[in-house]
Amino acid sequence: MLPFEFLFEYLPLVLNGLILTVEVTLFGIFVGLALGIVLAIGDMHGGKVVSTLIRFYVEFFRGTPIIVQLFMFQYVIPGMLHLPTNTYVTAFSVFALNSGAYQKGYVKGAMEAVFEDQMMAGLSIGMSKVQTIFYVVLPQALRIVIPAWSNEFCSLTKSTAALAIIGLLDLTGAGWQIMGIKYRVLETWVFVAIIYLIWITIVAKIADTVYERKKIPGIEISA
């Protein structure tokens, strides 16, 4: 009898947990990317006030643990403003905002690497600043960002385990539930761990393929 057979009756629970984990991760990473781009541009061209606001935002989300951020959005802010709480809203918004803070750093770094020269070149052919950012600077910056972005993807996935702490039934939450019911604790957690590993390996493979397809021929970017 396989050590994991007992888990098969809980497969639906685990699968639903995995789906939630994947949903939050994908939402977080892509909304985070959009946010990161907006914030990077805002920081570079927005003026002092905008830059300072962005700085506080980034410092908060990069300086505190994800658990604190989840509690902030689940208890503190609703507590202060007397809003109703919704665990799902908290989950999705926190991870999007968190990822956005990190991705802003990567995007800004990548943009600054190409900005000066390429902006001059763009202006010299008669494009406006906005056009140059959109058609020249961003396409190059986003390619440079890919290795850091795939790192962020993995990081984000691991952080989603914290969702179990605010009571959501993600993959970790499923494991926690099973642990409470069955005696076979070690097997449960090893099983959960393996699923995470498989998911992360798939993600890394996808990121590598994206990198191969999208890279600028002739230029190798070291991760």
Partner 1 sequence: MLGGVTTTLAISIFSLLLGLAIGLPLAFIRTYEKSLGFFVDVFEKVFRGIPELVLMLLFFFGVGMYFRFPFKIALFTAVFVLGLRSAANQSQIFRGAIRGIGEEQMVAARSLGLSRFRSIVHVMIPQVFIFSTPGLGSEYALLVKDSSYAFVIGVLDIMFTTDMIRKATFDFVAPYIAAAFLYILLTFPIATWFDTWGSRRKKTLGL
Partner 2 sequence: MMECRHLWKTYEKHLIAVKDVSLQIKEGEIKLIFGPSGSGKSTFLRCMAMLTIPEKGDVFLREECLTKPGVNLNVARARIGFVFQHIYLFRHLTALGNVELALRRVLKLSKEEARERASGALREVKMEEWAHHYPAQLSGGQQQRVGIARALARNPDIILLDEPTSALDPELIGEVIDTLRDLAKKGTTMLIVSHEMPFAREVAEEMIFYDEGTIVETGPPEQFFTNPQSERAKKFMTRLIMKTKRE
Task: Say whether residue 213 binds partner 2 (CB under 8 A).
Answer: no
Among 159, 166, 174, 207, binds partner 1 (CB under 8 A): 159
Q: Cite the DSSP H helix spans in the chain.
A: 11-45, 48-63, 66-71, 77-81, 87-124, 129-132, 138-159, 171-181, 185-214
Pick out residues in 98-117 that bind partner 2 (CB under 8 A).
114, 117
Name the residue type at position 136.
V
Inter-residue contact 49 to 57 (CB < 8 Å): no
Q: Is 184 helix (H, G, I), strand (E, B) or coil?
A: coil
**CA atoms of 184 and 178, how far apart (whole Å):** 9
Task: Say whether residue 127 binds partner 2 (CB under 8 A).
Answer: yes
List, in order, residues 6 or more apart from 21 with CB less than 8 Å away.
Answer: 157, 160, 163, 170, 171, 172, 199
Among 16, 87, 93, 140, binds partner 2 (CB under 8 A): 140
Instruction: Report the residue number, 16 or 155, with the smaller CB distance to partner 1.
Output: 155
Residue 149 CB, nearest approach to partner 1 (Å) = 16
Which partner from the list partner 2, partner 1, none does 4 bind, CB cut-off 5 to 8 Å by kind? none
Residues contributing to the site for partner 1 (CB under 8 A): 59-60, 62-68, 71-72, 75-76, 79-80, 154, 157-162, 164-165, 172, 175-176, 179, 185-190, 192-193, 196-197, 200-201
